[in-house]
Amino acid sequence: MFFRVEHVLGDNGEGKTNILEGVSYLCLAKSFFAANDTVVMNVHQNGFVVTGGFLSDRNIFYEARVTFDKYKSKNNYSEQSKD
């Protein structure tokens, strides 16, 4: 199921910026806000994974994933659907 998002609403601290960070990482493989990846991580974690999907204008689905481990380098992954 796919849907178009035009607004993201919520009170302070409900995760609106987290959604934008996730989209930024999937599209650009970097934060739109933070100077480096370690700033984005939860204080008690060693890394993070962001996964999402994109549907092209030709109706082709792509999966994108960005992983970051503070002890290793960033890993970017993208794959076209086999369907």
In percent, the amount of the chain with pLDDT more than 70 equals 83
- Number of Cβ within 10 Å of residue 72's Cβ equals 10
On whether residue 32 sits in a domain, the answer given is yes
Query: In this predicted model, which residue has the larger pLDDT, 38 or 74?
Result: 38
Structural domain of 62? 16-80
Q: What domain count does the chain have? A: 1
At 41 the pLDDT is: 79
Three-state SS annotation for 15-53: CHHHHHHHHHHHHHCCCCCCCCHHHHCCCCCCEEEEEEE
Across the chain, mean pLDDT equals 82
Average pLDDT over residues 38-53: 84
On whether residue 56 sits in a domain, the answer given is yes
At 12 the pLDDT is: 95
On whether residue 21 sits in a domain, the answer given is yes
At 82 the pLDDT is: 58
On whether residue 9 sits in a domain, the answer given is no
